């Protein structure tokens, strides 16, 4: 049976709709983060790109916040660039998430899987993305931009829905590759570099959608 991206819950649709309606703003945030010059990795899954996408989520939350949370959510969205760029929480979360991923990889595929260079690169990207999502939630909580119980509930939802995340990544990656083939013909994804670029972009987009769904569920 074909794997499809799971349909978002109704509570997540307003956030996702806002994000889909403001693609130009995401491009602006991507340009801003790239211009910081604090990280040479400007790939689709590099830290500048991840920060831009998380700032975009913060702005979506602010635009859809309940009146009681709107001031804090708007303040967080305005300062999210500096907060995320200077956050020490990411590295702390990488250590925690990394241990969990290493254990899960060894459990599913054997210890040798983590030693394969291609697998290791994918695992490292997944670890860093997961750490950024958790760090974002911690900063969101510290800013009072969401109710106190929302972040623990979102983290619990994320832990319980890893299959959903995997299905979303797979479906987005496949859709992106098909779109590239339609635009550029059979050779559009012949190069390893093109496949990696598409895969990284799909993974970031899937993680962002997963984050939005976790917050909505919480």
Q: Which residue from 215, 40, 51, 36 is spatially nearest to 128, judged by alpha carbons? A: 51
pLDDT, residue 114, reads 47
pLDDT, residue 8, reads 80
CB 83 within 8 A of CB 139: yes
- Say what the alpha-carbon torsion angle 17, 5, 153, 125 is, to the nearest 10 degrees: -100
pLDDT, residue 3, reads 65
pLDDT, residue 111, reads 46
Per-residue pLDDT of the chain (218 residues), as tens digits, is 456 677 887 778 999 999 999 999 999 999 999 999 889 999 999 999 999 999 999 999 999 999 999 999 999 999 999 999 988 888 888 887 766 655 555 554 454 544 555 667 777 888 889 999 999 999 999 999 999 899 999 999 999 998 999 999 999 999 999 999 999 888 888 888 999 999 999 999 999 999 999 999 98
- The CA–CA distances, whole Å, from 161 to 41, 89, 131, 166, 212 equal 29, 23, 16, 9, 13
DSSP string over the chain: ----PPPPPHHHHHHHHHHHT-HHHHHHHHHHHHHT-S-S--STTSHHHHHHHHHHHHHHHHHT--TTTHHHHHHHHHHHHHHHHT-SHHHHHHHHHHHHHHHHHHHHH-GGGGGSHHHHHHHHHHHHHHHHHHHHHHHHHHTT-S-TTHHHHHHHHHHHTHHHHHHHHHHHHHHHHHHHHHHH-GGGG-SHHHHHHHHHHHHHHHHHHHHHHHHHH-
């Amino acid at each position: 049976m074909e794997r499809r991206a799971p349909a978002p819950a109704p509570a997540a649709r307003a956030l996702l709709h806002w994000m889909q309606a403001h693609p130009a703003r995401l491009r602006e945030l991507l340009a801003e983060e790239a211009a910081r010059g604090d990280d040479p990795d400007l790939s689709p899954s590099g830290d500048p790109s991840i920060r831009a996408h998380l700032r975009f989520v913060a702005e979506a939350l602010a635009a859809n916040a309940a009146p009681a949370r709107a001031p804090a959510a708007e303040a967080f969205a305005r300062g999210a660039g500096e907060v995320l760029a200077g956050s020490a929480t990411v590295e702390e979360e990488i250590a925690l998430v990394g241990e969990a991923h290493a254990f899960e990889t060894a459990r599913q595929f054997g210890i040798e899987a983590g030693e394969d260079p291609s697998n290791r690169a994918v695992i490292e990207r997944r670890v860093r993305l997961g750490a950024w999502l958790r760090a974002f939630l911690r900063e969101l909580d510290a800013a009072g931009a969401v109710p106190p119980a929302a972040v623990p509930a979102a983290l619990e939802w994320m832990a319980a829905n890893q299959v959903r995340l995997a299905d979303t990544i797979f479906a987005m990656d496949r859709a992106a590759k098909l779109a590239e083939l339609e635009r550029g013909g059979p050779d559009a994804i012949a190069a390893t570099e093109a496949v990696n670029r598409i895969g990284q972009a799909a993974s970031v987009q899937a993680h962002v959608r997963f984050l939005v769904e976790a917050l909505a569920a919480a």
